[in-house]
Amino acid sequence: MQRLQLAEGVPEGLEVWRLALDLNAPVADEDDRLLSRAEWQRAQRLRHHADVVRAVATRAALRRLLSAHTGIAPEKLVFTQNAYGKPELENADGPAFNVSHSGNVALIALAPSGAVGVDIERCRPEAELAPLHGLVLSPSEQRDRIRGATLPFMERWVVKEAVLKTLGLGIADHLQALSVSPAAVPPASYCLKHSLPVSSPLQAWPLPAPSGYAAALGYAKSYAQS
């Protein structure tokens, strides 16, 4: 597991860890034994072996990182979740966190305070993504695209997912409520405009990703719904 170097301007204390997954390997016993019974059962319901490896390895890595921050044994940590399924620690004073995985890569983000979200996606040809433009892009983004916008669709997508995961909101219902523009001076934070039901300032940054992937980090210093 590798800790990523984050962009200049990312608040102190934020961490993002990247996990390289061997999807053909058996599930590691040392990972399997850290999961709760509910997590293990959820993983076993997945149809493909690669999905089981992704789920178990990522959850075990998350438990190890949270254990290092809380002092609680990784297998003893208990999670709860909000109405949209965003998990958080139950009855433990620990960091906010979020995870994402795609292909053979997983990301885990931690924040000492506030709320954090992360997303990584395997890139696909722009032509394959055209049918999604009307579902994902805000009206202003669609106009920008017609004028020859410079931000690739997949980059916009991961930024939107990271920000919405930060807020713990339903992603499909709010994609068009958020507009993403390139940073004036990369790799500074993206320019975000939104009509989301929150009053907290939102920030997002690009993350280093392996070739063929796009990734982003979202953060809110404090989180309050408006």
Q: Would you kindly state where each structural domain of the chain is located, as residue ranges? A: 2-220
pLDDT-derived band at 223 (thresholds 50, 70, 90) equals low
Half-sphere exposure for 212 (CA within 13 Å, toward CB): 5
All residues at 6 or more sequence positions from 43 whose CB lies less than 8 Å from its CB, including other chains:
35, 52, 55, 56, 59
Pick 9 or 55 by higher pLDDT.
55
pTM of this structure: 0.92
Average pLDDT, the chain: 90
Superfamily of domain 2-220: 4'-phosphopantetheinyl transferase domain (3.90.470.20)
- pLDDT value at position 73? 97
- pLDDT value at position 189? 84
Pick 83 or 31 by higher pLDDT.
31
Tens of pLDDT, residue by residue over 40-74, are 999 999 999 999 999 999 999 999 999 999 999 99
